[in-house]
Structure 1
Amino acid sequence: MQTIIEKFNKTAEKFSSRPALKFKFHGIYISITFQELADRAREMAKGLQELGIGKEDKVAILSENRTEWVRTDLATLALGAITIPVHTTLSPKIIKHILDDSGSRVILVSDQQQFNKLRLVVGELEKVETIIYINLDDDREHYDGKKLISLEAVMRLGKNSTKEINVEVKPDDVASIVYTSGTTAMPKGVMLTHENFMFDAEAAVTVVPVNEHDTLLSFLPLSHVLERTAGYYAPLVCRGSAIAYAENIKTLKQNLKEVKPTVIVSVPRIFEKVHSGIWDKVNHGSKLKYKIFVWALKQEHNTFKYRIANILVFKKIKMAFGGHLRLTISGGSSLNHKLARFFDRIGIKIVEGYGLTETSPVATANRPDNVKFGTVGQQLAGVEVTIADDKEILIKGPLVMKGYYKNDALTAEAIDQQGFFHSGDLGFLDDEGFLTIIGRKKEMISLSTGKIVWPEQIELTLNSDRFINQSMVYGDNQSHLIALIIPDWQEIIRNLVKLDLHSKEPDKLIKEPHLSEILEQRIKKINQQFADWEKIRKFIVLAREFSAEKDEITPTMKLRRSIIKNNYKKEIDQLYEQK
């Protein structure tokens, strides 16, 4: 098994003149070839070496997706050092925890916004010696005892260096310590080796093929292991695909049309928003357009009527994705099977998979030519997935992490003597080996009646409603379930007249009884899909979204239930006090 940097160098040599990365500059997308990327990564590696970085040192990256993220990662790996990705949405408190726990000596920050977060804790950082910045208003050479240096200056150090890189990097060496989302506690460091990443990347592109003619549009954070493996190592390092970076999530619609990607890696929330947007447009159009759209959705693939539907309806929707999209990869959380069927009918194939940070991450995936809706596919080649007696999903293979950083006890608890990683997720395998996820073991709700509830499936259904953006189901040791509901305020405000509502401000709208009545009717309809003990009996409407800034959600949009519960304890108690 090759290391990441060995594989990249071979791919760069093979496709030297082909575009590797694309980024927006003064209104247009500019390309960096594989040769240029390899040269810049080597130059930066020598610059980092001049700063004293060597094998097993930790280099943190606090940046949104951009070409410099990839360059810094490759430069770090070339030195046998270890990349520490840091989510840009994390609070200063958690950023400090990651930098201290990992022992990072150097951190790259992208801009003033990220540096401002670092400033709040920089004086308390134990190991950080140097802060490298890409764009910053501050041109001081030191800040609170730390060296402050621009990326350009690091590149100049590398260019002028006469010291060659002479380090042996092995497949079993740790490539990155990725801090898990931490829904119940502070994030813990997952040690992933070069072999972990390369095995998983190769296994993934074997079942979901990409090649040098593909272009991906990257918008999920590279700090998350799904994008790192499926949206960077697998396509670019292993197969020579080009990757273009979206400016931000708000410009995604425009960037899709500009880049015209053939493949995208996404999470269910993006598909939910696109689905809502399509139906919003249909519902606000003429009656004739509505009838044509509904008729089109009823047509079967490979029929004459479907070809007509494609010309009249589906082709226009696909043009919004750039017109060249051949498949999309969905992970991070469960995708509502109704959404998967909807997009499949339109002609947009969604390949859903499953995994965790601890499994690099992809363990199972649907194949493009063998998709079973509602499942996360079959195990990858070389991976063993089995179900324990208590329905916990167990995973074994070269994709399983080396362990939790500085926590042997937790590692021994997570990986048994047979080498199986205990995922904490519950599920079942059908006769064909397709895996279905039930929910998280730790997030199971035990009602006082003795009944068990998996909140994620209920929340998934609630959030697929056009008027609901977020929800959290609660009921620990209670006789029934309640829910915290955050409406999709954009959708509500677009329909004010139709809904007979009067304010445009969420803080005022939550006090309008009519909004609660509207949501109550929709929740009653959703309740029909669930068993009696799984029904939402009461709910409260909240004005503010759950946010990463308040540590209520993880960077991958998973709920930190204990924090949300504490933040809304008063409201939850009031719901249970009502008769």
Structure 2
Amino acid sequence: MHREGRGFLLSPIAGDDDRGGEKSPPFSARNQGFAFAETGGSLPPMFPVTRPETWGGGEIPPFASKPGGTLSPLVSRREGREFLPSPVFVAGDRGGEKSPLFSAHFGVPNIVMSLNSSFVASSCDPRYALKHLVSPHQRLINSNLPHGKCTPFLVTRNQTFRVYCDSQTKEMQIRKFSPILESMLLSGNGIIPSKEWKTVPDIWRTSAEKFGDRVALVDPYHDPPTNMTYKQLEQEILNFSEGLRVVGLKPEEKIALFADNSCRWLVADQGIMATGAINVVRGSRSSVEELFQIYNHSESVALVVDDPVLYSRISETFRARATVRFVILLWGEKSSIKDVAAAEIPVYSYNEITSLGHESHTALVHSEDARKQYIYETISSDDVATLVYTSGTTGNPKGVMLTHENLLHQITNLWDIVPAVPGDRFLSLLPPWHAYERACEYFIFTHGTEQVYTTIKNLKEDLQRYQPNYLISVPLVYETLYRGIQKQFNTSSAARKLVALLFLRFSLAYMEAKRIYEGKCLTKDPEQPSLLVSLFDWFWARITAAILWPLHMLAKKIVYSKIHSAIGISKAGISGGGSLPSHVDKFFEAIEIKVQNGYGLTESSPVVAARRPNCNVLGSIGHPIKHTEIKVVDAETDKVLPYGSKGIVKARGPQVMKGYYKNPLATKQVLDENGWLNTGDIGWICPHHSVGRSRNARGVIVLEGRAKDTIVLSTGENVEPSEIEEAALRSSLIQQIVVIGQDQRRLAAIIVPNKEDILSEAKRLSKVDSDASEISKETMTSLFHEELRKWTSECSFQIGPILVVNEPFTIDGGLMTPTMKIRRDKVVSQFKEQIDNLYK
């Protein structure tokens, strides 16, 4: 910057309003300056100064000096404040009593700026913290470095920094780290880390300080069973992270984490992130080919696997076709590995990694020489934290790049949906690498809750044993609970069954009236009802609810209390990862177990909308979560549609992915230049009414299926199969159903029967002998047609031919995703020949 014919050297601690001049405290120079102020006092990029150089007409700039000489006086005072000198100096300078940058008394090593737009400020006095004087757009390292220490101070969101010591050599390693998580390591240098989280691993230091001796997690089904407090969990993550560095994992490298739900998965996941590396996640039930393609496409360098069984299954393929630096077993012993040839690759047990990490971390904390081996570099919030591959990756893998910032958005904004408090208990049974389970786990651990790991097999027992406050799961789990309760009703004595079903009808009617007078009903009609009609509607609903309320309360005491004691869920069940059937939604509302439906995608980390505890509008996915925008657009023109109109749902917010890894074309197809993510879902937004049944439902989002699932009949008509499937699943005879009919004249269905229920129904109707143990497919088909006519009568389209399949669709069979959604395309492909025969 020039003023009055002079050039002034800018110190980076100038206030945002400083424009220089002879009275400006950061300036003191008569010759040409080196760095000039821009608008607002921000700094342009700087670069290392390694020797005195000519500047502006051959002059030596005032900051240059010879080793042992003095530097020009760049420190000044104003209004009683002392300002730090500019960081621009000669690399060979070792200070001296007249040097404003260094003092020989302290023996401080020289520090040189890195090649990026961050900068280094230096002082011998730790009082110069500067955190109130720096422009918010700048990064700062406070090099209060007596005794030869090089210590990072403060991190902001956009760029990384490095600190270089004079003892640095080319052999020194870059150590990426989370300043908050590793504050123990840095505390010896007087560092007070920022309280603002920049990376996901930052949360563990905060939680350990707040909830130290509280139980964080319980893992009863692994060997050994594990209970871990918040302090112990933080230490395990630190040890695992450091162990990974010891065995050679470097920052920004990818490492595959192929494992299932357990406490050690969480430790490994966070340990990897804390090194600055990127984890590439998948479950152990995926095929060998799918795991290999993910490993290969992601350019992973090493493997963390669930146990020796999985490693033995994949080792031959990986040895022959991939380069694997090392393997870590989360559970089990190395001696259990069956493939002898697999010994060519170094294999470590979980305990070996944490032990190596503990030893190394202890040495770093207590040894200054050990710390000097590294160049310290912070993990940025914009760094990729994980690659999550979308379902059905074989042949065309799409790795979703989620950054620390994406995941932190979820951690800091889900409390409005799940107002967890310390001591609340959650059951965890979903795949931990799935974005839904993962975001929820990170979130709950910032609030001092307890997580209990369970399985589908043990869910019923664990619900009663642990009495969770919350259950975070997928619609299929709530459907399973619903069916179990219905089965108990149906197998009770005739009198008990009659009483239970009668009470349930009263409660369903009571809740419907309650929704009307509370204004929590859905409507597509953009026209607001008249005030008079609304008042009458409200009055009638109030009277109806008042009449039914005593019966509902009696049912709650006699019937529902037993259900509550059996399944817990005292605060709420959170459903996500798929569409929650309306009959299941209404059932849990009637028995007063709150179920809140949410919505998101892997590409959005995942949550973009959810029903709130105080605005739980049935049939919807609620409002967008904080800092998130949602719009509905026309599929052809991309124009925003009015409220109540059905179209493609798009979302925008800080949680939206960075893109698909190595796939810019696929990224461009779903993510536009303005940051809008095309979800591929069809939906509408409830109109804004100030009176009437939907006055408190305005702005909620309703989904009606996937655009890619829409069936186009040969007649040109479009059919959303999810509506028909949801209605059909109300039948106790149907376990699974897929509606088909693309390019055909009419719809058909592939149905998996509930064998016990359909056999009982056939006996009741005398379609088989009373002692029969099986039922023919012809009889099944006849019963299914009757059930479909009963339950889908209100749907716009009816089912024609039916294909009965005896074996259920499963994850292991490749026909369901890990979150238990049916892979429609895979089912159609597998039964293509039988489907063709249906239409002949």
Are residues 1:103 and 2:299 paired? yes
Are residues 1:70 and 2:336 paired? no
Instruction: For 1:429 and 1:522, locate their aligned partners in 2 and report how far apart those are by CA, in whole Å.
Output: 32
Matching residue within 443, 468, 478 for 1:234: 443
Partner residue, 1:220: 430
Residue 386 of structure 1 deviates from its aligned partner by: 0.3
Measured against aligned partners, the alpha-carbon deviations of 1:516-545 in whole angstroms (never above 9, x if no partner) come to 2111210122331211xx211111101112
Partner residue, 2:410: 200
Residue 314 of structure 1 deviates from its aligned partner by: 0.6
Q: Pairwise CA RMSD of aligned residues?
A: 2.5
Partner residue, 1:24: 220
Instruction: Give the percent of matched residue pairs that are identical in Structure 1 and Structure 2.
Output: 31
Are residues 1:368 and 2:578 paired? no
Q: Is the 8 A contact 1:91 1:550 kept in 2?
A: no
Q: Is the 8 A contact 1:356 1:362 kept in 2?
A: yes
Partner residue, 1:146: 345
Distance 1:124 1:501, change over 3 A: farther
Q: Which one is further off, 279-288 or 121-130?
A: 121-130
Distance 1:496 1:68, change over 3 A: farther
Residue 120 of structure 1 deviates from its aligned partner by: 5.2
Distance 1:256 1:58, change over 3 A: same
Q: Which one is further off, 125-134 or 196-205?
A: 125-134
Question: Structure 1: which amino acid aligns with 2:668?
Answer: A
Alignment of 1:478-489 (within 5 A): 478-489=744-755
Are residues 1:181 and 2:391 paired? yes
Partner residue, 1:2: 198
Question: Structure 2: which amino acid aligns with 1:489?
Answer: K
Residue 125 of structure 1 deviates from its aligned partner by: 4.3
Matching residue within 460, 463, 470 for 2:736: 470
Instruction: For 2:770 and 2:660, locate their aligned partners in 1 and report how far apart those are by CA, in whole Å.
Output: 50
Please, what TM-score do these two structures have when normalized by structure 1?
0.93
Q: Is the 8 A contact 2:273 2:385 kept in 1?
A: yes
Question: Structure 2: which amino acid aligns with 1:306?
Answer: H
Measured against aligned partners, the alpha-carbon deviations of 1:48-95 in whole angstroms (never above 9, x if no partner) come to 111111211222222221110111011111111112221232111111
Residue 459 of structure 1 deviates from its aligned partner by: 2.0
Q: Is the 8 A contact 1:184 1:560 kept in 2?
A: no
Q: Is the 8 A contact 1:183 1:560 kept in 2?
A: no
Please, what TM-score do these two structures have when normalized by structure 2?
0.65
Instruction: For 2:749 and 2:670, locate their aligned partners in 1 and report how far apart those are by CA, in whole Å.
Output: 32
Question: Structure 2: which amino acid aligns with 1:381?
Answer: K
Partner residue, 2:208: 12
Q: Is the 8 A contact 2:815 2:823 kept in 1?
A: yes
Q: Is the 8 A contact 1:123 1:144 kept in 2?
A: no
Matching residue within 533, 553, 564 for 2:816: 553
Instruction: For 1:514 and 1:494, locate their aligned partners in 2 and report how far apart those are by CA, in whole Å.
Output: 12
Distance 1:30 1:314, change over 3 A: farther
Distance 1:9 1:456, change over 3 A: same
Q: Is the 8 A contact 2:758 2:780 kept in 1?
A: no
Residue 293 of structure 1 deviates from its aligned partner by: 1.1
Q: Is the 8 A contact 2:609 2:621 kept in 1?
A: yes
Partner residue, 2:382: 172
Distance 1:490 1:241, change over 3 A: farther
Residue 296 of structure 1 deviates from its aligned partner by: 2.5
SS in 2 for 1:32: strand
Q: Which one is further off, 136-145 or 472-481?
A: 136-145
Q: Which one is further off, 101-110 or 487-496?
A: 487-496
Residue 477 of structure 1 deviates from its aligned partner by: 0.9
Partner residue, 1:518: 783
Residue 368 of structure 1 deviates from its aligned partner by: 1.0
Instruction: For 2:822 and 2:222, locate their aligned partners in 1 and report how far apart those are by CA, in whole Å.
Output: 37
Alignment of 1:359-508 (within 5 A): 359-390=604-635, 391-431=647-687, 432-492=698-758, 497-498=763-764, 500-501=767-768
Instruction: For 2:314 and 2:411, locate their aligned partners in 1 and report how far apart those are by CA, in whole Å.
Output: 32
Measured against aligned partners, the alpha-carbon deviations of 1:36-56 in whole angstroms (never above 9, x if no partner) come to 001111111111111111211
Distance 1:207 1:280, change over 3 A: closer
Q: Is the 8 A contact 1:77 1:175 kept in 2?
A: yes
Distance 1:498 1:148, change over 3 A: farther
Instruction: For 2:566 and 2:396, locate their aligned partners in 1 and report how far apart those are by CA, in whole Å.
Output: 39
Q: Which one is further off, 468-477 or 378-387?
A: 468-477
Considering fraction of residues, name the structure with more helix. 1
Residue 189 of structure 1 deviates from its aligned partner by: 0.5
SS in 2 for 1:448: coil
Question: Structure 2: which amino acid aligns with 1:239?
Answer: H
Distance 1:122 1:184, change over 3 A: closer
Partner residue, 1:159: 358
Q: Which one is further off, 93-102 or 291-300?
A: 291-300
Instruction: For 1:503 and 1:357, locate their aligned partners in 2 and report how far apart those are by CA, in whole Å.
Output: 50
Question: Structure 1: which amino acid aligns with 2:553?
Answer: R
Q: Which has the higher contact order (CA 8 A, sep 6+)?
A: 1
Matching residue within 539, 555, 558 for 1:309: 555
Instruction: For 2:700 and 2:737, locate their aligned partners in 1 and report how far apart those are by CA, in whole Å.
Output: 28
Q: Which one is further off, 354-363 or 545-554?
A: 545-554
Where does the alignment leave 5 or more consecutive residues of structure 1 unmatched?
A: none
Residue 27 of structure 1 deviates from its aligned partner by: 11
Are residues 1:281 and 2:488 paired? yes
Distance 1:101 1:27, change over 3 A: closer
Matching residue within 814, 828, 833 for 1:570: 833
Instruction: For 2:405 and 2:770, locate their aligned partners in 1 and report how far apart those are by CA, in whole Å.
Output: 56
Q: Is the 8 A contact 2:474 2:820 kept in 1?
A: no
Instruction: For 1:25 and 1:478, locate their aligned partners in 2 and report how far apart those are by CA, in whole Å.
Output: 49
Distance 1:62 1:505, change over 3 A: farther
Q: Is the 8 A contact 1:103 1:128 kept in 2?
A: no
Instruction: For 2:711 and 2:357, locate their aligned partners in 1 and report how far apart those are by CA, in whole Å.
Output: 55
SS in 1 for 2:751: strand
Q: Is the 8 A contact 1:201 1:234 kept in 2?
A: yes
Distance 1:387 1:491, change over 3 A: same
Partner residue, 2:792: 527
Q: Which one is further off, 292-301 or 56-65?
A: 292-301
Q: Is the 8 A contact 2:406 2:656 kept in 1?
A: yes
Distance 1:504 1:144, change over 3 A: farther
Q: Is the 8 A contact 2:386 2:403 kept in 1?
A: yes
Number of matched pairs: 569
Q: Which one is further off, 435-444 or 457-466?
A: 457-466
Partner residue, 2:503: 296
SS in 2 for 1:69: helix
Distance 1:295 1:552, change over 3 A: closer
Q: Is the 8 A contact 1:548 1:554 kept in 2?
A: yes
Measured against aligned partners, the alpha-carbon deviations of 1:433-487 in whole angstroms (never above 9, x if no partner) come to 1111121111211111010011222222223321111111111111111111111
SS in 1 for 2:820: coil
Question: Structure 2: which amino acid aligns with 1:149?
Answer: Y
Matching residue within 237, 251, 256 for 2:463: 256
Instruction: For 1:292 and 1:538, locate their aligned partners in 2 and report how far apart those are by CA, in whole Å.
Output: 37
Q: Is the 8 A contact 1:141 1:148 kept in 2?
A: no
Are residues 1:243 and 2:451 paired? yes
Flag the structure with larger Rg. Answer: 2
Matching residue within 72, 87, 90 for 2:286: 90
Residue 25 of structure 1 deviates from its aligned partner by: 5.9
Residue 398 of structure 1 deviates from its aligned partner by: 0.1
Alignment of 1:316-395 (within 5 A): 316-322=562-568, 325-390=570-635, 391-395=647-651
Instruction: For 1:25 and 1:544, locate their aligned partners in 2 and report how far apart those are by CA, in whole Å.
Output: 28
